[in-house]
Amino acid sequence: MTDIDAAAVAAIRRFNRFHTRWIGALGGSLHGSGFALTEARVLYELAQRDGWLAGELARNLGLDPAYLSRILQRFAVSGWLERERLPEDGRALSLRLTQAGRAAFKSLDEASRQQAAALVARLAPTSKARLVSALGDAQSLLSGGASPVVKPIIREHRPGDIGWVVSAHGRLYAEDYGWDISFEGFVAEIAAQFLRDFKPLKECCRIAERDGAPVGSAFVVRDSDEVAKLRLVIVEKRAQGLGLGKALVREAIDFARSAGYRRMVLWTNDILHAARAIYVAEGFGLVAEESHHSFGQDLVGQNWELEL
């Protein structure tokens, strides 16, 4: 065994000891529910769907069929489980939780949720994002499969997000278009002004989040009493193709309308084809364009407008 292997083995064992102690598995009463760990897992699987076959459930959970049979017998005696033999195979038992069984599961599930919620409540937002990402990576690496797919969300900005916006712009535009570091400085100035002069009723930053980490942004800033400016729209490569760019722009337009603006404007460059396609689809019209040399490149800047 190599030093790296030994360190990984030790880390897994250390986490297993922490986790089993944390959830109360060592005392034979998971989350104080009275269920042993294996019993709780069986109850969870039964609550996910009706019609499990006993043999199928044993294989799915890697349990000895005789051991599972004793658990199922306990559930049946408690009035939580109904077992029905299939007409086509008298040896196969179809399993279904009763109303009392679902109530027992609901109590267990709520205890588990509250225990996890109490733990994450102590964490800062950025730490929560790291936790979600780390647990997903651990599951993916150890199972050899893909990380669980979590539907992206769009939310208001919070501490730490604006720094990510600046970093992501600098990194992605350097990678995709060869723009130099002056562009990151340009974005940083916009971001700093947004934070310094933020007007909550007239301005917003929307952040797209996936797997607990930011993957996209769109800003609405005040240009005048009647005009809002759309700025800093970006989507990370790993989140492209999910419709987040369009969703972020629509969120920004909806906010501008609700804030009482009459018109929305934006400035972009003609090489940003994906962004321009979104603007056209949402009703923006090109009103002016001009060649310029910025960010180490010869570019064509464009001004677009949308009547709200």
User: Hey, which bits of 188-281 come out as E strands?
Assistant: 204-210, 213-222, 227-235, 263-269
Give the separation between CA 286 and CA 305, rounded to whole angstroms. Answer: 7
CB 112 within 8 A of CB 31: yes
First to last CA, the chain: 65
User: pLDDT (tens digit, 9 = 90+) per residue, 260-294?
Assistant: 999 999 999 999 999 999 999 999 999 999 999 99
User: pLDDT (tens digit, 9 = 90+) per residue, 28-42?
Assistant: 666 666 777 788 888
- Which residues on neighbouring strands pair with residue 302, listed in sequence order? 268, 289
Enclosing H/E stretch for 177: helix 161-177
CB 253 within 8 A of CB 218: no
pLDDT computed for residue 227 by the predictor: 96
Query: Closest Cα to residue 73, out of 48, 95, 103?
Result: 95
Contacts of 126 (CB under 8 A, 6+ apart): 159, 160
Residue 50 has pLDDT above 90, yes or no: no
Percent of the chain with pLDDT over 90: 47
Task: Please give the average per-residue pLDDT across 230-244, as a whole number.
Answer: 92
pLDDT computed for residue 119 by the predictor: 78
Query: Closest Cα to residue 213, out of 152, 149, 138?
Result: 152
Q: Which residue has the higher pLDDT, 262 or 85?
A: 262
Return the structure tokens found at 192: 């700093």
Q: How confident is the model at residue 91 (pLDDT cuts 50, 70, 90)?
A: low
CB count within 10 Å of CB 165 equals 25
Give the separation between CA 106 and CA 211, rounded to whole angstroms. Answer: 26
Task: Please give the average per-residue pLDDT across 43-70, as a whole number.
Answer: 86
| 234-to-54, 132, 173, 214, 217 alpha-carbon distances in Å | 50, 22, 10, 11, 5
What's the chain's average pLDDT? 87
Percent of the chain with pLDDT over 70: 92
pLDDT computed for residue 259 by the predictor: 95
Give the position of tokens 């019993």: 39
Give the angle subtended at the CA of 151 by the CAs of 149 and 155, to the nearest 5°: 140
Query: Closest Cα to residue 221, out of 202, 241, 247, 240?
Result: 202
Q: How confident is the model at residue 258 (pLDDT cuts 50, 70, 90)?
A: very high
Domains in the chain, ordered, with CATH?
Answer: 3-122 (1.10.10.10), 153-307 (3.40.630.30)
User: Hey, which bits of 22-66 come out as E strands?
Assistant: 52-53
